[in-house]
Structure 1
């Protein structure tokens, strides 16, 4: 996006008031043409289990990001999942198919953000278009009218007319290519996040219709998997139930019976609508949907990292300008954290935060992200909310709270000029400062609609300028530049001739560790640890741990508050 101009104090206060209002919001839409109140009924983060997050929790969080890109309040897909399972139970679906229905409902639109760039090129506001798509039976004149209404939106009148004329002549080919790309992307992403091997084939039918007039293959009737037929109905019915009430939901399903929807499923829904939708809008859908999950397996280590990396790739596909961005930030942030001197656990947090820091981008239209002209104040307000959305989404997952805290602050700045909360100074911890610097550097290396990519040298100069302006921490920037190969690592001179390893052992000694514990922490033998301790005592003239600790404090080698 074009470079953000410094915000006056009054403007920052306004942004914070908007943020507070969003935090309290309980309904709304994420369309780029509407206020950013898309948190839906997310509410406070519920108390969950202890330990590693479960796969389904990560996928449920991903569904919240999908909701933003659909122009729906978060938890739309979770409610649609519950409704789909109720329909499946009423239809007597077997347990295996029920499990597939769960994921088909939860992630039916997983590929939608991968075609946002092309969709915005056709219709201006990809999120607004998807929101309006629910309102029509997508065929014939209603669908053509919807597309022509959105084609060229945001352009001056003459250019808009020309764009609509061009689109009318090429609509069939353009939309078919778009849907085919969507289905391919959905399949890849489903595989990457570890779904059943049969799920990509099911998701490829997202835009097929019972009457055979869908895309991309024109499948009809029972050629469309039952799982997708149920997901399609539940997805649309939830939107009308929530926005217009039960009668409107029933009327819509009845009107689309035999066109978009399977007639038997439509009849079943209309007959039992009251029972199927009972309390659906009143319950908290997060725990309710997770309780129905077919797979409650915890993820940890490399398996968790694989899923989070896939989620980051998913976010980056929002625009070709950001493809691969999160992977690069994750690597750079982790290497920077090691150079900075953070412990292994926090390095892992930074790597994971790097992968998912841009998840909230789904809530902003590509009509804004891919804009070549200067951004309006409204554009800036939308952009300045996206890290907050990402933090709220990630914070829903037990075990991901720390990752969410770090990821949500990657656009905050030391002088308080950043967003979304305008935090600064002591309110930003080392990990948050590191991610901000790493993201800023990596972003400079990548092209954007309003500028070409910078060279590594120019990106380094830009980072140093941010330090000079008081926006980024000098230590974090220095560590980024060392990790990026733009600056040589300084070799620290330790007092009393201590080596770097002896300084590390001294810190552990100050923590009260004995030789065996030091050996375990550093993966060395107890004998080697004992030798290090003896050499330390000899060099600094200490006789025991207490005097060694006092020496470390006097020399600034250990800070109890920092751990």
Structure 2
């Protein structure tokens, strides 16, 4: 089904806003500002389009280092938001802005620990974060068939002017400026011009800052933000022939939030499609269920990985955060005219027939058969996966558990039977391993994807740590990445993770 890419992304850009801890509409506003600056610079259509798309997608790679950042600072969303407001070319501003924002509301001893962590490990963290985010962003652009100019811009969008100058792709420099302007546009007491001038010559290209300020480009949308973004897109408008390929990108990005989630959204989508076919649903419902299965958990990015990966019982506040993720998924999907009809379906995947679900507390009369199928598929697949507080269940045990929930009146029995009835699709034919990976390298890649260190890989595969490290480096060279996040996306995209492979023993 053909669709305008910007319409899809203006909604899905909320994914980047939520995942980066920013106000809703920040990414969309950034795209508008970049397009307006591109017009002011009289850029040709290809370069202007690259500026627009890099700005719109700048933060989609934020999930690439979410788990590691949460372990280091306790909340990657707070770290992301603080980083968005700090001038990274100034040590003084880093400690005057980043540290206070990151530690706000925390006990004095925690604030001191975080400040010490930043002093001792901040540089290495920043480098690893930007590498992962940029590689993930580049690969997302590639998979959506955006131009090589966009891909190069995504790979360098966090480069600082003081280090790269004009060697940084123009699209990256424009997008970086637009992103900062969008962040400060809604800050009470802050002026965009002040923020840009302070960063000129450090983080930002001073010539672009001058052009932006001289033109008086405004961050305020002309009415409806979605329409403003659509109107701002440089010609020619980009269309996609298959919405599914875009949905798969954001499904994989959502699952990258934690190693515990890898492959979850694709598996749920496959179960939904199989169940809908088995139960004889119309073709339109089957198509919608597959898309909803891919997108049902995009709202997970709004909750810190520290919550998702917590091994001890969640607090009342943390439970409430988790219970809101279907709502965030619903709002992300609702932002696209092409996907908006899926929002109610996406937002009800944790609702239950007996009213015990969340976030809306729906009952049977509120839930259509597609909603019931998605709920059953998500429940079953989740049980088949490990979580921080429990190991994965076997397929038979997971099937028994969801059948018991159906018998108790929470899940729809027909939907559950459709989900656990087996895969109707023919087995995929064997294909050569991508990028020339060997069987052993695929084993190692699976463990890398699930967050194992070189030492842990060595222990699991009964090889030395150094041998494991050599394997990892060879894999990275073969597939053209330098971060765990990008390697993980490669594994997911090429279906190298088996449904029951979660690297946990």
Residue among 194, 207, 218 paired with 1:251? 194
Partner of 2:218: 277
> Does the CA contact (< 8 Å) of 2:351 and 2:375 recur in 1?
yes
Partner of 1:456: 395
1:345 Cα shift?
A: 2.3
- Corresponding position: 1:468 with 2:412: no
Partner of 1:193: 144
- Corresponding position: 1:392 with 2:331: yes
Partner of 1:409: 348
RMSD over aligned CA atoms reads 2.5
1:484 Cα shift?
A: 5.9
Partner of 1:263: 206
Partner of 2:10: 60
1:147 Cα shift?
A: 6.1
Partner of 1:488: none
> Does the CA contact (< 8 Å) of 1:387 and 1:411 recur in 2?
yes
> Does the CA contact (< 8 Å) of 1:415 and 1:424 recur in 2?
yes
Superposition map of 1:524-563 within 5 A: none
Residue among 280, 293, 312 paired with 1:354? 293
Partner of 2:77: 127
Deviations 1:17-46 (A, max 9, x none): xxxxxxxxxxxxxxxxxxxxxxxxxxxxxx
Superposition map of 1:30-429 within 5 A: 52-139=2-89, 140-143=91-94, 165=116, 168-212=119-163, 220-244=164-188, 248-273=191-216, 276-277=217-218, 280-281=220-221, 283-293=223-233, 294-300=235-241, 303-429=242-368
**In the aligned structure 1, how far is the partner of 2:38 from the partner of 2:19?**
26
> Does the CA contact (< 8 Å) of 2:35 and 2:51 recur in 1?
yes
> Does the CA contact (< 8 Å) of 1:326 and 1:358 recur in 2?
yes
**Compared CA separation, residues 199 and 244, structure 1 to 2 (3 A):** same
Deviations 1:438-489 (A, max 9, x none): 100001111111211111122112212212321111111122221269xxxx
**Compared CA separation, residues 400 and 248, structure 1 to 2 (3 A):** closer
Q: Secondary structure of the residue that 2:161 maps to in structure 1? A: coil
> Does the CA contact (< 8 Å) of 1:253 and 1:266 recur in 2?
yes
1:262 Cα shift?
A: 0.9
**Compared CA separation, residues 171 and 79, structure 1 to 2 (3 A):** closer
**Compared CA separation, residues 184 and 415, structure 1 to 2 (3 A):** same
> Does the CA contact (< 8 Å) of 1:122 and 1:151 recur in 2?
no
1:200 Cα shift?
A: 2.0
**Compared CA separation, residues 295 and 472, structure 1 to 2 (3 A):** farther
**In the aligned structure 1, how far is the partner of 2:350 from the partner of 2:55?**
33
> Does the CA contact (< 8 Å) of 1:124 and 1:154 recur in 2?
no
Q: Secondary structure of the residue that 1:471 maps to in structure 2? A: coil
> Does the CA contact (< 8 Å) of 2:61 and 2:134 recur in 1?
yes
**In the aligned structure 1, how far is the partner of 2:33 from the partner of 2:304?**
28
Q: TM-score, normalising length from structure 2?
A: 0.78
Partner of 2:383: 444
1:297 Cα shift?
A: 4.9
> Does the CA contact (< 8 Å) of 2:8 and 2:337 recur in 1?
no
Residue range with higher mean Cα deviation, 390-399 or 323-332: 390-399
**Compared CA separation, residues 58 and 123, structure 1 to 2 (3 A):** same
**Compared CA separation, residues 271 and 154, structure 1 to 2 (3 A):** closer
1:166 Cα shift?
A: 5.4
Residue range with higher mean Cα deviation, 234-243 or 167-176: 167-176
Larger Rg: 1
**In the aligned structure 2, how far is the partner of 1:150 from the partner of 1:86?**
31
**In the aligned structure 2, how far is the partner of 1:324 from the partner of 1:83?**
35
**In the aligned structure 1, how far is the partner of 2:333 from the partner of 2:62?**
20
Q: TM-score, normalising length from structure 1?
A: 0.70
Deviations 1:213-259 (A, max 9, x none): xxxxxxx21111121111111111122221136x6211111111111
1:102 Cα shift?
A: 0.8
**Compared CA separation, residues 281 and 242, structure 1 to 2 (3 A):** farther
Higher helix share: 2
1:405 Cα shift?
A: 2.4
- Can you give the 5+ residue segments of structure 1 that lack an aligned partner in the other structure? 1-50, 213-219, 486-563
Q: Secondary structure of the residue that 2:314 maps to in structure 1? A: coil
1:398 Cα shift?
A: 2.7
- Can you give the 5+ residue segments of structure 2 that lack an aligned partner in the other structure? 425-505
Q: Secondary structure of the residue that 1:243 maps to in structure 2? A: coil
**In the aligned structure 1, how far is the partner of 2:215 from the partner of 2:239?**
36
